[in-house]
Amino acid sequence: MTRLEPAELELWYAWKRASEAVRSAVADDIVKATGLSDPDFGILTRVVELGDGRLRQSELAASMGWHRSRLSHQLTRMCERGLVERREASGGVDVLVTARGRELADAARPVHADAVRAHLLSAIAPAQRPSFLAVLEALGRR
């Protein structure tokens, strides 16, 4: 097996540092402002956006790219905190956002937008954004 060349390693490590730093900074801003963890925010926003407040647990798992058991454990914690409810439905389980969950998701939205602008977009010149987006989309399609 061949090893990565120094320039390839440099790119790999830069990618890891940058992606981890941006995601962590955005998540930190949201948790400081609302108490919602990154998984909490991801679940709440998907249920609201994709299902208008109610979404099949299996669809939610697929939208997040999570194994069903990971989602189930996270939902249990969120149910205990009054953010979501689970209800049996024909052939599955629906996840419903509670009033408290919707309130916190709504409060987190502008924090998320400001954090993405501050921690990601501010570092990318407007003229570079189309190229950056093209690279990210190509990576996402692999």
What domains are defined for the chain? 32-120 (1.10.10.10)
Q: Which of 89, 99, 100 is nearest to 57 (CA)?
A: 89
Average pLDDT over residues 102-109: 96
Query: Which pLDDT value is given to residue 142?
Result: 85
- Over residues 49-85, the pLDDT tens digits come to 999 999 999 999 999 999 989 999 999 999 999 999 9
CB atoms within 10 A of CB 60: 24
Residues forming beta bridges with residue 96, ordered by sequence position: 54, 85
Residues forming beta bridges with residue 89, ordered by sequence position: 92
- State the DSSP H helix or E strand holding residue 94, giving kind and residue range, or none if neither: strand 92-97
From residue 98, alpha-carbon distances to 9, 65, 135, 137 in Å are: 46, 23, 38, 34
Q: Which amino acid is at 29?
A: D
